[in-house]
Structure 1
Amino acid sequence: DLDPLEFGGNVTWQEPAVSDRVQDYLLYFAEDAIGTNRSPVGSIVPVGTSRELLAPEISQLPAFTHLVIYTRSYLVEQTTPGYFALSDTISIVSSIVFEDLDLDFNDLGSNITWTEPIVNQQVTEYYVYLADGSEPAKTLGDNGNMPWTGRSQLGVVSVGTDMLFVPPETPRNGYSHVVIYASSDLVEPLGPTAGQARQTTPQYLVVHDANASVSNVDFVGKDLDLEDLGGVVSWNAPGSDYDRVLSYVVYLSLDDIGTNRSQIEQDVPYGTNMLLTPPETPRNAYTRFVVYTKSTLVEQTTPTAHSLFDTSALARNLDFLDIDVDRGELAGNLTWDPPSDELHVVRYNVYLSENAYGLGRHYLGNVTVGIYELLVLLELLI
């Protein structure tokens, strides 16, 4: 039994050379070698047997220091026992470390590491759990048993291993602690059965559930064509656990949770809080920008979203009166009305084109915003 002040294991002894008057053996824990304040342990062992398996979790309290064994005849128990000084095997892990690298709240993921006990000869495995406290709760069941209800197993590793990987997106389910139990084998010598003694008092670590999401996502559209996007997506860095953020990933999405998302450009390193969406990026059916944080382990699964507004600014009511009377030449004043939203317009570029979509266009000139006419040069050959 690997808990402090608790015992469990195999007791063996050598029977007396003359045992024809011995009926059985009685085992006790006592405060000294002569059986002071003794307390019975185990079963009554019949003569001819020289071993007894003591179940785990036998308390050493109040202050037992010896195991004493008395022979008993059919008449009386002897007064001077054989004895053995108790040595309490304590094997508890230490220095548990768990840095959660799943950046979604209520999801966990990363390596749990610990330092193995210095005395670990009896240890066979380590059992790792999420738990509701440093000593997980038990609940009385319908059958009278006391099953564990305050813990959920993460894994089991063999002695010699000091790490367990917790996959990303492991639900925390309200648990507040990581607890680790050392386990030993209680094997009955020469027998076919084996039992397992697991610590009842684990080592523990309070879990810090990382939560690192950006805020205040914004987009300023600079591509003035309808159904085309272009401009800067910006955001504020996470207010907590930012030291675990490696980069940001920006997508176009159909909704707030990243459905059918399409990444814009490459990952943005931590420390930069904006990304240029290239001009003429097709909007398609997307309705949101979504921004994810990413650690060295994984990208978060719940992004921060921003509703997409497609900026469109088309000049209206174009008018041109040709005052050059020669065939194949143009001259005159081109006028137009400004778009309904002129916020992002800085100038108007004017072209002569083969069709309404700018095919084979020829640059004529430009004017700054606020001016809505351009004089086309005389004798321009068309």
Structure 2
Amino acid sequence: AVLPKTGSSELTAFVIADTPVPAGATHLLVRTRSVDGEMATGISLAFTDRAVPTEQASALQFDDLDIDRSEVGGTITIAAAVDESRITFYSAHFGDAALGLVGSSLGTATTGATTLSISVPLETPLPGTVVYLMVLAGNADGLALPVHSAKIVLVDRAVPLNPPVSIAFIDDDTDGGEIGGFVTLQRAIDESDVTAYTCYWGTSSTAVASSRLSTIPIGTITVSSLSGSYAAFAIGGHTAIPGGASHFLGFSANADGEIRTGLSVAIVDRTGDFPSVAVSSVHFVDLDTDFFQIGGPVVWYEPVSTGGLLHYTVYMAIDAYGTLRTPLGTVSVGSTHFDVPMDTIIATYTGVVYTHLLVYASNSYGEALQGFVEPIVDRAIPTAVASGLQFQDEDKDAGFVGGTLSWTLPSNPALPTQFLTLTVMLADLATSAGSLQLAEISGTDATYYVSKGTAVSNFTHFEVYTKNVMGQALVGTSLPIVDLWLPPYAVEFPSFFDQDLGVGQLGGDVQWAEPADTTMADVYRVYLEDSLAEYGGFRQLVSEVPVGSVSAPLAFDTPVGNFTEVTIVAANAVGESLAYANVTIIDRTAESCPLEAGHKHTSPRWRVAAGPVGAAWRVR
């Protein structure tokens, strides 16, 4: 670089990155220069060429010993690079699909041996973006670029998270100290991480590895060999119960091991017969009005003979065969009634829907093999809501409404939330002070006529609700009540000056002043009125203008006829005000028009007025 003289005490020159180092170069030299040449000697600075390694480890190996999902642990084994001349250590990292480093270093190993190791603690969290385990060579100048790393795909070993749904065992061997039958495991709802099911003798109801009587299972059944919903492990007849065994334990499993916590069922050594009788005529009425929730009484008849029976148990199940039985409660023999708690949920987030109730009899040996079944009929109030309420008040009086209320019907679902009728209400939504039902109508109606003269009172809204035999929907649709009535006022200071000079013809502007309150008016209507008509005033509409106007045109050449007054009336959608203002018609002609009156006559033809006039005038 050549730097110009600036007068500053310090000058800076930048050495561009990737500048090649000439062979044998060890120093940077700085010399001064003038027009006559460069000095022979100068000052020098020794430089050190810093460089991170580009070499990589020869091989990697890692086996995850942590069997929990999204956690790893174990030993990383590293085969040293062929050339370690620029390497002083190796550093292990998680890497993503783009070879970016994820998180900080997992550990380092110093060079000096052909094989090195880095320990990764068990339960080390594994970020979701990790794809590779990467080892980068390093020295005092830094780490090698990720592109020069040694890497392997990281395999997260994990036992299943999804357990079996249920476990059951019924002893078919009635000899004391001996059992026989099948241990049945209902398969996991999600088997994405399950390849097999195992069954063990257990010493506790807690189904964990430490509760297994032996590490050797009674049996292992692979998922690929199953065709139904259950894995069944056979216990041969006259099998002696091993010492210390109190339960059967069931686990879901895969190549990495068994689920941490499985299911257990007590070993009941049946030395007599289970009940052979059952209740009959089971009935249930759902009194809970929420969808997918039940509650109410279950009733039944006891068996004719109840000898030896101890109690009855009420279950929910997903079919009539008792699959996925879930106990709701137990009552003693002699009882024929059980109350299912309100808000009992019959549909779970996992997709299980209970469809039947079953009542089983039990004795000291256990439960009967068959119970009495009653389908669940989930009764619920409607959830559908009408929409698009519309209403135009046709009642002319303040404080009262009347007219057609209309809406758009919702889709009517199937039972249990199907609606049969609609209720039309007046409601006070401003203070939640209450409501008044106007009518209950067919669920197929989309209109209701509110009788004129219906008092608004303190009500603020119309409401429409769907309804069935279980009751009215919790949510309806509403529309604010707009009480329209005839405008209670008239315009002020009406005036009309006839500018059409033809005899028997009128024309010009009708003028007035608006009232102070115009909120209830939409338009002003101008009429010619015969106030002397035999059967009361006769009106002819000649003009209509919106509120805000203070004049309206009366077309030239309008015949006077028998009309005696010009009348102005305020009106709205309900009708015309009962109050009005008028002005007497004076048909002005050329003879009667005063000299000082100005005219803007726009008649389509000129007129000639016969007879003498009192003064000269002109039409302009």
Please tell me the TM-score bracket, short chain as reference: 0.3 to 0.5
For normalisation by structure 1, the TM-score amounts to: 0.47
Say which structure, 1 or 2, has more relative contact order (CA 8 Å, 6+ apart).
1
Q: Which has the larger radius of gyration?
A: 2
For normalisation by structure 2, the TM-score amounts to: 0.31
